[in-house]
A and B are shown apart, each in its own frame.
Chain A
Amino acid sequence: MPPLITERAADRIAVLLAKHGEELARHIRRMVRDDDAAQDILQDTLIRAHGALARLPSGANTRAWLYRIATNGSLNHLRSRSRERAALERHAAERDTAAEPETETRTGDLDPDRETLWANVARLPERQRLALTLRIVDELDYAEIASRLGGSAAAARANVYQATKKLRRGVSRR
């Protein structure tokens, strides 16, 4: 079987992991609250990042772009988990075994309010979505958000403000 990634690719991924691995892992883990899933999403982020690295214009903000892939990967995971949970619940209702403990443990760490929140976050425009997750998940101040996503602290604050306003309205408009 050929290796999953070539040696040179492994070196480039090692550079990304060395420089950004821990901050990305912390960000993803805080979003998905599941260590195994976090490792999967981190790995996926790096494989995607490395695949697109050559296409990234020189001088582009690599860190911002890694956060974008990681955040979107985490949101996709949360979304598919909430779909999985809905399917499990339908299944349980059909069989009328809603109290089955296995279902409980599989979904025990999921909080429906939190899922709705994330589903709404996923629908925000990208800059607002990223700024907001760094603010509420990583608890960063606006200067730190700007250093990760590029742009100014004032722009980060404006994005978080817009995102919060939309979430309060339930993101009724896209």
Chain B
Amino acid sequence: MITERVEAERRAVEHIVLGAFGELTGRRSAPLRYAMMDDTPVGVLGLASGARGLRHLSYVKDEDEFLRRLLAEHGDVPVLRTAALDDVRRALERYFAGRRLDFDIAVDLSDLPTFQRRVLDATARIPAGRVATYSEVAARAGSPRASRAAGNALHVNPVAIVVPCHRVLRADGSLGGYGGGVRIKEWLLAHEGARPATL
């Protein structure tokens, strides 16, 4: 079977590259695979997945910046460019086209501290078209008085858009901050119909 040969070659090639990674750079953990999406309505996005799901979806300048960030953040992890990550890419394309605003892709947040993970889990349950406040998210994460900490946890959300931290606003209805820039937060909310488009 051709597909079996292709699969055998893929595995052998991966083995060779991971071997070289270990020998030359000391990076021997399970690999991260990354891909770029260059022209989305919100600019350049970098995606990175491990075996258990998506671990990064970031606003970046270009591939080099994203790659350096991944390598710096994951000191013992080999990082490989991939043409795949198709499920994530397709889900994002559907999102940007407005065909489907919710995501059902696996996200791996297991590296993060418990509180941050709880905040992100609570945020992931805000449906498209709706918003919540920082203190509501803190309460749903089990720490009703930690709204400032919740804001910080959201600010360093490693998986933007898919974990929709842009749906979390200040209690007075103002936008608050956003890692990708407040204009992008505004765009995403308007795209989801949660806020009238301004400008």
Chain A contact residues, CB within 8 Å of chain B: 4-5, 10-11, 13-15, 17-19, 21-22, 25-26, 28-29, 35, 38-39, 42-43, 46-47
Contacts and interface: CB of A to CB of B under 8 A. Distances in A.
A26 B67 CA distance: 22
Interface string B1-37: 0000000010011111101110111110000001000
B16 A42 contact: yes
A4 B25 CA distance: 10
A17 B20 contact: yes
Interface stretch (B76-84, B86-94, B145-153): B76-84
B71 interface: yes
**Chain B at the A interface: SS class:** helix
Contacts of B26: 10
Contact of B17 (A4, A5, A11, A17): A17
Contacts of B14: 22
B68 interface: yes
Contact of B25 (A14, A19, A28, A39): A14
Contact of B13 (A5, A18, A25): A25
Given A11-B71, A14-B71, A15-B68, A26 B9 contact: yes
Given A19-B67, A21-B80, A35 B12 contact: yes
Given A25-B13, A29-B12, 7 more contacts: A10-B25, A14-B25, A14-B27, A15-B71, A18-B71, A18-B78, A38-B16
Contacts of A13: 24-25
Contacts of A42: 16-17, 20
A42 B79 CA distance: 16
B124 to A, nearest CB: 29
Given A14-B79, A17-B78, A22-B80, A5 B24 contact: yes
B79 A46 contact: no
Contact of A10 (B9, B13, B24, B81): B24
Given A14-B25, A18-B81, A39 B19 contact: yes
A39 B16 contact: yes
Contacts of B20: 17, 21, 25, 39, 42-43, 46
Contacts of A39: 16, 19-20, 23
B7 to A, nearest CB: 13
B11 to A, nearest CB: 10
Nearest to A42: B20
B74 to A, nearest CB: 10
Contacts of B67: 15, 18-19
Contacts of A19: 63, 67, 81
Contacts of A46: 20, 24
Nearest to A28: B16
